[in-house]
Each structure stands twice: as C-alpha cells, then as structure tokens.
Structure 1
Amino acid sequence: MKSHSLLLLAFLLYAFNGFGQRKDYRITAYGAVADGETNNAAAIQKLIDKVSATGGGRVIVPAGNFMTGSLYLKSGVELHIEKGGRLLGSPKRNDYSNKPSRPALISALNQTNVAIMGKGVIDGQGQELMLDIFRLLRSGEMKQDTIWRVKRPNDRVFLVFMLGCRDVRISGISLKNSSEWVQDYRQCTNVTIDRITVQSTAYWNNDGLDITDSRNVRITNCFINASDDAICLKSEDPAAICENITIDSCILRSSANGFKLGTASHGGFRNIKVRNLTVFDTYRSAIALESVDGGVLEGIDIQYVNAKNTGNAIFIRRGHRNNTAKVGTLKGVYIAHVTVETPLHKPDQGYPIEGPPDHLRPGEDKMPKRPSSFHIYGHPWLPYNLIPSSIVGVPGYPVQDVVLEDIAISYGGRANKSIAQIPLDKVTSVPENEANYPDFSMFGELPAWGFYMRHAEGIQFKNVRLRYVDEDFRPALVFDDVRNTTLTDVQIPTAKEMPVVLLNNTSNITTQHLKLPVDEAKGVQKTSYH
C-alpha cells in the first residue's frame, strides 16, 4: 500500500510540474493589436516560439479581431481563442508561407502536444482572399498549372494544416470561410477533435474536416457545414494508411458527400468506426466508400446514420484509377441502422456553393442534346433520373464481404423514360468507367431505382427496406455479375413494372423472407443476357 501511495504522489508531482505550472500568455501583452487590420503574425509567432522553448503553455487570443498571416504551432503550445476572440486570416495571399508546400493560416509540422481550443472563431476570410489570388493570377505574379483549375487555383490557404504531429487536441472552436480545405491532419498520431463548428461555404473545394494517413483519431460532437465533403478520410501515401479512426455524434451538411473514405486511397483505410451521424441537405452521398488508387479498404463499421434531403444514400466503389498500380481491395464493411430520404428536388439548393444544378450529369457524345441542356466548364450537362445506391467493383476485382443491415431508404421516384432508359436486356451496357473519378453519378443513368450492384461477392442484405414516393418504371434491385449474396428480410412495398428484382450473370443468390408487392416467384426474374 505504501508503494502505491508513493507512486501516486510521484505522478501528482509530475503532473503538477508538467501541466500545473504551464502559464497563460495573452497575445495583447506581446504586441498584438485587435483592430482587424494589423498583421499580427510576427508578434504571435514570437510568442508561440517563446512559450514552446520555455516548457509550454497557453497562447491566448482574447476578445477582439486579430488579423494574421501564417502561424506555426510548436510543441507544448495550446492556442486558446477565448469567447469573443476572432483570429482573422489575412486577405493578402503574400502574407502566407508555402512551407511545407501547403499554405495555411495555422500549421504544425512534426510537433508534439499541440492544441487549438476555446470558444472563439478562426475566420479565413476566404472570399476576400480569393479576390487577391485572382488579382495575382491576372497580373502574372501567380501561375496557374492547368486550365481546369480556373475556380480552384493553386496556393489557396487551409485554415489548419498539421503534418507528422503527435498528441493533437482541437476543441470548442469555430472555423469559418476557408478558401481551401478547412483542416487537414496528415500523418498524425493521437488526434482528438471534439465539439468544433465548421461553417465553410465561402468557396469551392473546401472539405470540412480531412484526416490523411493518420492513426488513432477520435472525432466527436462536431457540426460541419461545408461546400465540399463534410468529413473525409484520405490516403495519399502508398506506404501509409488511415487506421484506428472513431467518428461519433456529428451533424453534417455538404454540397458533396456527408462521410467519405477516399477519393485519394493509395495506402488505404483500416479499422474505421462511425456512429450516430446526422446528414442533411447534402448533394451527393450520405456514405461514400471508395478504393480506387491501389490501397486497402477494410474493417469499416458504420452504424446509426440518419440522412434527410440527401441526393444519394450509399455509394461503395472499388475502382482502378491508376492503371499503373495494383487494384486495391474493398472488403469487410458493415453498415447498419441507416435511414435515408432522397428527394426529387435538388437537396442543396439555396446554399452559397451548390452541386451541379437540378441533378445533372455529364453528357456523353452519343447522347443527343436536348433544349434543356446547358454547359458547365465547357461540358454539356443533361438531366438524369434519380440515381440509386450502388456497390460496384471492376471486372475480376469485386467488392467483397459487405453487410447492410437495418437499412431504410426512401426515394422520390418519378423516373421518366423520355429522359433515359436502359432496357432490361441491356443492363451490361452501363459503362465500367474503371479509371473515372468515383462519384455516385459516375456511371450516368442506372437501370435500378433502389440498389444497383455489379462485380460483387459475399454481400448480405438484412432487413433492408426500399420504397419510392412517386412511381418509377425501373426494377428496385439490379444485380449484375454478383456471387454468393444473401437477401434476408428485404422489403420492397412499391413497384410499377416487373421485375422488381433483376439478376443478370449471378450465382449463389440466396433469399429469405422477401416482401415484394407481388408473389416472389413472379417478382424476381433471373436472366442471363449475353
């Protein structure tokens, strides 16, 4: 007992020396000016450096508007923004450093025990900054690499960028108006993000929260409203991976995807646990899982997702975007307790940055232009029927071992044959698009209204309920090149035409307790088209 008391005393002394004596430093005492115009970067950075060098502490941003360019957090430093405090990003691009090639308002590079906390605001002033970036582009001071980046030029500025850091804490703050991804935690270990608010609809390509090739990450109780993906896990290094990630109790709104793994998927994703997501007014998929760059995607557990007014429910894609690399894996996925309402109207209409208008998809040369078509970025866009959820691999490389349990999806319906129709004996005409950017609309028109599955094996549907509001002429389910799949307690109460379920080039499809609008023997049509 005496030895235990001594150990406890030693720990308390260590904690007191390590944390109890950490000091608070207010930036106003070191020359920072709260006029919203003075660039305080030099004063704040000098203070951060001092605090780190003397053992750590809190650098406090008090109430007021403090403008700054690039800041670099150092080990042992908590940047604490008090209620009423606003850290404003400079509207001048030349006030930001490109070190280490990704310009950001706040960076941390290979640091330990860093934090950004408080009840204040970090505002990137993204619209004002973009005006200056375009001014620099027009004058030739900045160079543009490719034409397609007209609306997404290089050298836009992150709000937070952390690379190679350990023991990172982000809590309580609000992040607003980024011109680039809002925040990226790259190759970091032990990251905790809790109770943050992201309001970022000021510009394009501004993901709300990105985790790239990081391990041991916990994201909880966050509200994210972003023009691009709300929460997105990425893997850009073939030798690295996103692993041991937990996401819980977050509310997401996006003009892209709600929760996504990918698009970048070079190393991959393993042991990802997601719970209790609310997704609303989201243009693309509530859940998107993408392995297209040669990495692994396995050990994914997603439960309790409620999505309303969302353009697509579930998109799972094993692709081959880089034909010089191996085909990645996509297996071992469990998705359960999911409710999604997909409307007829455009789900993100009225937000500052929207997805393509009125559910449009890229036109193809073989498709005739209609009077309603128009051009975006020089490409014709044509209306399409609502796109179902999908699980799609590539020939010879199926999606494997996915379980969908307790899933309820409601679709607006109202598909129109005059817009597009894939005859049931032409289901193999859907393009493979192996190397295309993965997205729920990447195949164009699909022959199903509820779920489309191709190049897949070992898929289990358990207690899955699909319904439409208005009639749809397409089958509810279309499976093409599917093996070893079970449908248990699948309920499809509405159907306009037969078949309700179409199986093409399939084997070992087991059904139990199907609840279809007609007799099961008549409602399921097995075919083999060549």
Structure 2
Amino acid sequence: MKPEHTKSKSKSTKMNRLLTILFAWLLLITSVFAQKNTGVWDVFAFGAKGDGKTMDTKAIQTAIDRCHGAGGGKVYLHNGTFLSGTIYLKSHVTLEVEAGATLLGSDRAADYPDQASEYPTYDEDPLTSKAFIYAENARNVTIEGRGTIDGRGSEIDKRGLNDPYLRPSFKYRPRIIHLRGCENVHINHITLQNSASWVQTYQACKNLVIDGITVDSRENKDIEKPRETTARHRNNDGLDLIDCELVRVSNCYINSGDDAICIKSFSPDRASRDITITNCVVSANASGIKIGTETAGRFEDITIQNCTVFDTRGEGIGIMTADGAQIERVNISNITLRNIKRVALFIRLNTRNKLYGKNKVINKPGLRDIVIENIQGTRISSTGCSITGLADYPLENLLLRNINLNFDGGISETESTSPVPEKTDAYPVGTMFGPILPAYGFYVRHVKNITFDQVQLRFAREDQRPAMVFDDADQVVIDHFTAQSSTKTPALIRMVNTRNQLITNSRPSTDIPVFVKN
C-alpha cells in the first residue's frame, strides 16, 4: 500500500501534466484566433521547426490552407530554415519569407509530386513538371519578402547522377515556382537560388507583377570556361513567361544557367501580350532576354527597356518564331550588352513547328513591326548578328536605330565564303548557320521594309567581311551608317538580290576600295 504522500505526489504530477496540455492547447487556440483576426498565419503555430532538418511541409501547407479558408491573409516564415517539399499556394494567400529566413527545398525528387493539369506542357506528356511552389487557377497570390527560397538543385542533381529514372529529363527535376492559370500575381523582392530546373514559370497567368527579385541559379559561373566545366547543365531558365498577359517585370537581377528572361507560348489559341520588362540586369549561360524558342501562339505589344545584359553565352537579345507564332509590335530600347559569346541581336522566323501537349494546330507564322533602338554593346562574338526569315515568310517592318556595337572580329574573307543554309525547320539559335556569317555586323535575309538609322559598327581585330550583307531584301533604308572596315574587304555593304534600297548620309570610318557592291 502506497503512502499518502506518494499518492498525493502522483496526483499532483498528473494534474501538472494535464494543466500543461491544456495550457498548450489554449496557446494554440489563442494563436490561431489571433492569426485569424490579424491576417498573419505564423507557421511556427502549426508545428514548423525551422531547423533546416525537420520536414516542415505539413506545417506550412496547413497554415496556407487555414489562411485560405479564413478568406486570405499572410503566411509568415521567419527566424529559421524551413525544409519542405511541394507547397500548394492558394487564392488570397501571401507567402512571406522574412529577411534572414530560408525556405529550403527537399533534396528528394519524390517530395515533389507531378500535378494533373489542363494546361499543355513543354513535352507531349499532359502532366506538369515538379515544382517547389505550385498553384493553378488561383487568384490574388503573392510571394514576397527579403528572405531566400533555395531549390537545392545541386543536391537533387547529385542524387540523380546514378539514377536512370532521374537523369534523362528535366521533367523529374522540380522548378522553384510554377504558377498556371493564375490571376493577380505579385512576386516581390524574394531571392530564388539553386533551382533544379527552370527557376520560375508563369503559364497563362494574367496581371502578373514581378519586382525587385534576385535569381542566383547558375551552375558553372565562369563565362570564360566551357558550359559544363564544374557541373551538369540543369536548364536553369531564370524567368519564363508562357502565354501570359498584362505582365510587368522590373528591377530584377537574374543570373541563370540557361536563358535569363524568356517569353514563350505553348498554346496556339493563346497569346503572350501586354508585357513590359524594365530596369533589369541579367547574365546567363544561354540567352539574355529572348522571345521564343517555344512559340505556338501570338506575341504582341511587348516592351523591353533599360536593361543590362552581360557575360552571356548565347544571344544578348533574341526574337524568334519557330512554331507558328505571329510576333507583332515589339519595342526594345536602352539596352547595354557586354561579353556576348554568341550574337548580340538575333531575329529569326522559321518553321520547326513543334506541338505542345495535346495541341494539333500549327498557325501561320509572321514577324513584323519591330523597333530596336539605343543599343550599345562591346565584346560581341565574331559571329555577328542575324535577321532572317524565309522566302515564303519574310520579316516585315523592322527599324533599328541608334545602334553602337563593337565585335571581336578577326575573320578573313576566305573564311566566310560558304553559302548560308536556309535550315527552315532547325532549332533557332544564333549559330544555326555556322559560327561565321558573311558579315561581321549584320546578315539580313528574306526581309521586307527594314531601316538601319544611326548605326555604328566596329571590330576589335581586323575583319575582312562586309559590315552588312543583305540577301533577298526589299525596301532597305540605310541612313547615317558608319562602319569600320579593312582594305581587304570587298565592300562595306553587300546587296544580293535586293530591291528598292536607299543609302544616305553614310560612310566608312576607314579607307575601303568599295562602299556598296550588288
């Protein structure tokens, strides 16, 4: 028989435990009630540890679900590193990662399930790629804060080196953000880093604002070394806008392993339209700022201005339609280019005609009404720039004004005598016609109504090619054109099968035997 004092102590212990549990429940209820009334849902109140080791997926998702269920508000991550798999963002929810906090992706691909979707994908498979943060057909969603979202791409990549399921396709490598069919979206000030695939993808979204973000997702950062010097390429596009409308991208720094900023289309019945990109600084292991390559629908009313593109392995600026898109009314201005390894300006129409998802329609392509002005560039590859359509689909109505480019040069006349192939169905890229074009500055083919106004071209090493070559061009205007040349250059400007040309107020900057040759 137990003494009375032992019984009393046992009862006291049980009572203390009960009081502790009741107090904990009271704190939780009070916390949830307070969050519901303040509109801020702290993930710690839902069991998040924030220690970078414990999976906090359930806690974060519960906070999002409760916030959404209450009509909206802010889900708050602060003072910790929150390890998680896929998070589903919902309507009227702001996900805030506070300064000093990190939302850290799992390094297991299994923690990022595929999602069935009504929207077409890059591949014919109707399932979306994996994503760290995913939403579909949501409204009024925001991701913001001065904190960091880390996709753990390098760790996921290492796990997949000997895994045949993981290695063949980026389909199994999660993006950091993937929003589809969403409306009224804000992405503000956040840092996105180390993605396993495209860093952020917005598809068929409307009224999208991306402001002041930083993207640091570039494996093999040394631009002077081969692309896969230290790590395997992971298709790390910095920002992809697919069939989006009413888009404003501003004040961003993007350093990416593939294209930095890319506007695309997967749907022949949709359009990428009413888009402005301004005040951005980008560097990339592919193209800097590009329209294409995936181009099923329309592209119209696009403005790109006040941007810097540097240390870029592909094109500085690219505009291309390859899959049936009509591209119209594009304005590009006030861009500086430095150390561009492929071509500074690449404009291309061809008929690769790739299909996306279950779509079976190929539109009739077109590329017209393009204005490119106030462009300065140095250390541009000796390939030169190209503006080319097809004989059946010429480019129309292009104005290039106040262009000042300095090319690497160093090519002899004999090195550039090979005919330029048409490559009507090839993947469009600046070097698609070979590493050497007939002109050190601009090669123009299958174009109607093009104007070069106040264009200056130079080279760092003597180049014996013409500054510009036109082939099958109609209505060519060249005004206030100045270009460097060599005494061995056959002509500063060469016209082949070109009609209705007008050259005024133009001159070579060095002695040359022939100015224009037909």
What TM-score, normalized to structure 2?
0.84
SS in 2 for 1:330: strand
Q: In structure 1, what residue type is equivalent to 2:407?
A: Y
What is the letter of the counterpart of residue 512 of structure 1?
Answer: T
- 1:51 maps to 67
Counterpart residue number, 1:8 = none
Residue 308 of structure 2 is matched in structure 1 by 278
Deviation at 1:521, TM superposition (A): 9.0
- Asked if 1:436 is matched to 2:426, the reply is yes
Q: Does 1:512 align with 2:504?
A: yes
Q: Tell me, yes or no, if the aligned pair for 2:166 and 2:173 is still in contact at 8 Å.
A: no
Q: Residues 439 and 522 of structure 1: is their aligned pair in 2 closer, same or farther, counting only changes over 3 Å?
A: same
Look up the SS of the partner of 1:441 in the other structure. coil
AA aligned to 1:388 is G
Moved more, 75-84 or 96-105: 96-105
Aligned partner of residue 491 in structure 1, secondary structure: strand
Which one of the candidate residues 236, 247, 250 is aligned to 1:220?
250
Matching residue's letter, 2:176:
L
- Counterpart of 1:265? 295
Q: Which residue of 1 aligns with 2:472?
A: 481
In the other structure, the counterpart of 1:204 is 234
Q: What SS is found at the alignment partner of 2:301?
A: strand
Amino acid at match of 2:377: V
Which residue of structure 2 lines up, in the alignment, with residue 164 of structure 1?
181
TM-aligned CA deviation for residue 25 of structure 1? 1.2
* Counterpart-to-counterpart distance in 2, 1:483 and 1:240: 32
Task: Say if 1:143 and 1:78 are closer, same or farther in 2 by CA, change over 3 A.
Answer: closer
Cα deviations by residue, 1:192-246 (Å, 9 ceiling, x for unpaired): 0000000001442110001000100000000000010100000110011100001
State the partner residue of 2:369: 332
Match of 1:124 in 2: 151
Higher alpha-carbon deviation: 492-501 or 105-114? 492-501
Change in Cα spacing, 1:21 to 1:460, as seen in structure 2 (3 Å) is farther
Equivalents in 2 of 1:129, 1:93: separation in Å?
Answer: 7
Match of 1:447 in 2: 438
Equivalent residue for 1:458? 449
Q: How much has 1:493 moved relative to structure 2? A: 3.1
Matched to 1:500, the amino acid is: L
Distance 2:202 2:334 in 1: 25
2:409 counterpart (406, 413, 419): 413
* 2:352 counterpart residue number: 321
Distance in 1 between residues matched to 2:405 and 2:109, nearest whole Å: 45
Aligned to 1:401: 397
1:177 aligns with 2:177: no
Counterparts in 2 of 1:455 and 1:512: CA distance versus 1, 3 Å: same
Is the partner of 1:285 in helix, strand or coil?
A: coil
How far the C-alpha of 1:474 sits from its partner, in A, is: 1.0
Cα distance in structure 2, aligned partners of 1:462 and 1:495: 22
Whole-angstrom CA distance in 2 between matches of 1:195 and 1:326: 36
Superposition CA RMSD, Å: 1.8
Q: Give the Cα separation in 2 of the matches to 1:514 and 1:204.
A: 46
Distance 1:57 1:74 in 2: 11
Give me the identity figure in percent.
Answer: 36
Q: Residue 304 in 1 paired to residue 334 in 2? A: yes
Partners of 1:178 and 1:327 in 2: how far apart? 35
Please give the secondary structure, in 2, of the residue aligned with 1:432: coil
Label 1:309 to 1:519 Cα distance change in 2 as closer, same or farther (>3 A).
closer
Matched, 1:90 2:81: no
| Structure 2 match to 1:79 | 95
TM-score (normalizing by structure 1): 0.82
**Structure 2 residue 486 is the aligned partner of structure 1 residue 492:** no
Contact 1:22 1:55 in 2 (8 A): no
Does the 8 Å contact 2:464/2:485 carry over to 1? no
Structure 1 residues 212 and 22, CA gap change in structure 2 (3 angstroms): farther
Radius of gyration: which is bigger? 2
Letter in 2 for 1:232: C
Whether the 8 Å contact between 2:466 and 2:494 is mirrored in structure 1 is yes
Asked whether the equivalents of residues 368 and 395 of structure 2 are also in contact (C-alpha less than 8 Å), the reply is: yes
Structure 2 CA distance, aligned partners of 1:180 and 1:515? 48
Distance in 1 between residues matched to 2:256 and 2:50, nearest whole Å: 28
> Which residue identity is paired with 1:63?
N
* C-alpha deviation, 1:131, in angstroms: 2.3
Matched, 1:27 2:17: no
- The residue identity in structure 2 corresponding to 1:59 is V
Give the conservation status (yes or no) of the 8 Å contact 2:344–2:380: no
**Which whole-Å CA distance do the structure 2 matches of 1:64 and 1:93 have between them?**
23
| TM-fit CA distance, 1:343 | 4.5
Give the match for residue 342 of structure 1: 379
Partners of 2:400 and 2:379 in 1: CA distance: 18
SS of the equivalent of 1:154 reads: helix
Could you tell me which residue of structure 1 aligns to residue 210 of structure 2?
Answer: 193
Counterpart check, 1:252 vs 2:252: no
Following superposition, the deviation at residue 22 of structure 1 comes to 5.4
2:415 alignment partner AA: Q
Unaligned runs of 5+ residues in structure 2 are 1-35, 117-127, 220-232, 355-360
Contact 2:218–2:284 (CA under 8 A) maintained in structure 1? no
> Structure 1 residue 274: deviation in Å?
1.0
Could you give the per-residue CA deviations for residues 437-478 of structure 1, whole angstroms, max 9, x where no partner exists?
A: 111000003111111001111111010110111101111111
Residue aligned with 1:52, SS: helix
The structural deviation recorded for 1:133 is 3.1
Which consecutive aligned stretches of 4+ in structure 1 deviate over 4 angstroms post-superposition? 517-521
SS in 2 for 1:228: coil
Q: What is the alpha-carbon distance in structure 2 between the residues aligned to residue 35 and residue 73 of structure 1?
A: 22
- Deviation of 1:516 (Å): 1.4
**Which stretch of structure 1 is more off in the superposition, 208-217 or 125-134?**
125-134
